[in-house]
Structure 1
Amino acid sequence: MNSSPIYRQINILANRQRRHFDRLTAEAPFSGAQGRVLHYLLDHPDEEIFQKDIEEEFGLRPSTATTLLQSMERKGLLRREPSEKDARYKKLTLTPEAEKHRGALFAEMSQLTEKLAGSIAPDDLKTWQKVTEQMIKNLK
């Protein structure tokens, strides 16, 4: 068993995963981080998604999420619109420009997922997901 500290392994994995996705989206008109947010929004078409949801999903601070989403707005990838349930809240709505990238983003995420999972047995992946979720809860 590798005696490397858990935090080191997680950091290396996160950096390599981020770099890999950034390479996949290098030709796209958005950054890797923006691509991950777009993928999330595209994957939840029938839900009202707010900035707070992005913060929670990606573990971002409010200021980081604000900067990221404002940049995406400037690029014409999303709009903030009043919620149908409560006009005080602004839901994130994808533009037709963002929709153009649906196929490529889903293909790239699928490729990344396949590469990450590689030859790992399904039971091992389930264990990893369970342990990782517990680690995330431990750090809240």
Structure 2
Amino acid sequence: MKLERMIGARIKSLSNLLKRQVDQSMSEIGIEPLTGMQGRIVGYLGHHQDQDVFQRDIEEEFQIRRSTATGILQLLEKKGLLERRPVARDGRLKKLVLTPKALAIHQCIEERIIQSENDLYSCLTPEELEQFFVITDKLRHHLEKK
């Protein structure tokens, strides 16, 4: 089987191209790009600003080990993107809060994702778009059953 005809390789290639576009737009405005998992965590926290989110929530959401989550969160703190704040009801708990710098990054990423989505939608007909979602849903369901 040729690499260019492999489904997984094609999906990975598209994912890399999209990530590169987001990273490029971030560096154009002077923001250091994040790793994939860092970006996903910042995005998750950005979408859940109105809720108390704790490390265990990150571990469960992204199916990562405690040690992995600790390392990523510590790095986000070191970069000035995340703060751990005590919760009044339990002094042992520390909720995760994005800093203004992280919120700006989150906003930039969200805007770039919307631009990318609009660009991708524009190159497909409505029929092709529908077929794309049917096919990718079928692939996802197949992989989830394994």
TM-score using structure 2 length: 0.66
- Superposed, 1:101-140 pairs within 5 Å as 101-120=105-124, 121=126, 122-128=129-135, 130-131=137-138, 133-134=140-141, 137-138=144-145
Count of residues paired in the alignment: 138
Runs of at least 5 residues in structure 2 that lack an aligned partner in the other structure: none
Q: Which residue of 2 aligns with 1:7?
A: 8
Change (3 A) 1:85 1:119: farther
What is the CA deviation profile of residues 36-58 of structure 1, one whole-angstrom value per residue up to 9, with x for unaligned ones? 43233212222333345445555
Deviations 1:65-100 (A, max 9, x none): 433321110122111234567665543211233234
Give the match for residue 21 of structure 2. 20
Following TM superposition, the consecutive aligned residue runs of length 4 or more in structure 1 with deviations greater than 6 angstroms are none
Contact 1:25/1:32 (8 A) holds in 2 = no
Greater mean alpha carbon deviation, residues 122-131 or residues 17-26: 122-131
Conserved 8 A contact 2:81-2:102 = yes
Q: Over aligned residues, Cα RMSD in angstroms? A: 3.4
Equivalent AA in structure 1 for residue 134 of structure 2: T
User: Which residues of structure 1 form unaligned runs of 5+?
Assistant: none
Partners of 2:51 and 2:143 in 1: CA distance: 24
CA distance in 1, matches of 2:97, 2:81: 9
Equivalent-residue separation in structure 1 for 2:106 and 2:10 (angstroms): 31
Tell me which residue corresponds to 2:47: 43
State the percentage of identical aligned residues.
33
Task: Kindly name which structure, 1 or 2, has the bigger radius of gyration based on alpha carbons.
Answer: 2
Cα distance in 2 between the residues matched to 1:17 and 1:64: 25
Task: Tell me if structure 2 keeps the 8 A contact 1:18–1:32.
Answer: no
The structure with more helix, counted as a fraction of residues: 2
Could you state the TM-score of these two structures normalised by the residue count of structure 1? 0.68
